[in-house]
Amino acid sequence: MVPTSIDVNADAGESFGRWRLGDEAGLFAFVSSANIACGHHAGDPSTLRAAVRNARDAGIAVGAHPGYDDKAGFGRRALAMSISETVDSVVYQVGALAAIAESEDVRLRHVKPHGALMGAICGDPELAVEVAAGLRSAGFELPLMMAPTTALTAVRTAGHPVIPENAVDLDFTDDGINVIEPRPMAKDPDRIAETAVTVARGRAVTVSGRSIEMPVRSVCVHGDRPNAVPIAAAVNRALTAAGFAIRPAEPWV
């Protein structure tokens, strides 16, 4: 059954010091959830606080967006880390953002891994379950927002909440995983909006031309794309015209 509502999420808080990335005020007008960087792949404490405030003032949900500690590669390069090291890194990052959010009277709603970390978690059910368990043991009863993969199924089977999602401004492999772009380029907003409607209806077309199932409750547009705001606006319009209510996703438990 096609859902009647869909979450539109976007990455944010990815500036650093004097280096500015993205138009959060413009972006937040068209999305229902923000995934805020936690300082490892991008962001600094003051940037994270500003992003939390902007999301709060826009009335959208706030989630943590932890990534590999690799600012030069923007977290889009895989790092050789053990499962325990990865869990510790994620808990550390989410804890930092949660503290800033709490001081702004904001509660985190989800945890969405970033870039290469997302790829690692989606490709390794054991890692995914351990990350979810590590968050829970630290007191964070937060759903993992990730692609609908066997790893997501493993997390849910282990009793942890999840939110299935995928980015609609990236291509898909036959396994339903996004193809990461090291340097995002401008893309046609109308084409991405069409993809968003297809994905919201539970299907996706892969790079090989296959049509696969894509049972998501949230779709992502990346805030670091040069024309991110026009893309988010087009996605919002298309989903609304297709009959979807745009609001934060409730987790599968």
Average pLDDT, the chain: 94
Domains of the chain: residue spans and CATH: 5-246 (3.20.20.370)
Which candidate, 248, 227, 240, places its Cα nearest to that of 27?
A: 227
pLDDT in tens, 191-250: 999 999 999 999 999 999 999 999 999 999 998 899 999 999 999 999 999 999 999 999
Q: What DSSP string runs through 160-207? A: --EEEEEESSS-B-TTS-B---SS-----HHHHHHHHHHHHTTEEE-T
Which candidate, 64, 34, 31, places its Cα nearest to that of 229?
A: 31
Per-residue confidence band for 179, with pLDDT thresholds at 50, 70 and 90:
confident
Per-residue confidence band for 2, with pLDDT thresholds at 50, 70 and 90:
low
Is residue 109 predicted with pLDDT exceeding 70?
yes
Distance of CA 246 to the CA centre of its chain: 16
Q: Are 80 and 38 in contact (CB under 8 A)?
A: no
What does DSSP say about strands 203-205 and 162-167: parallel, antiparallel, or unpaired? unpaired
pLDDT in tens, 37-52: 999 999 999 999 999 9
User: What is the DSSP-derived secondary structure letter of residue 6?
Assistant: E
pLDDT in tens, 53-73: 999 999 999 999 999 999 989
Is residue 124 predicted with pLDDT exceeding 80?
yes
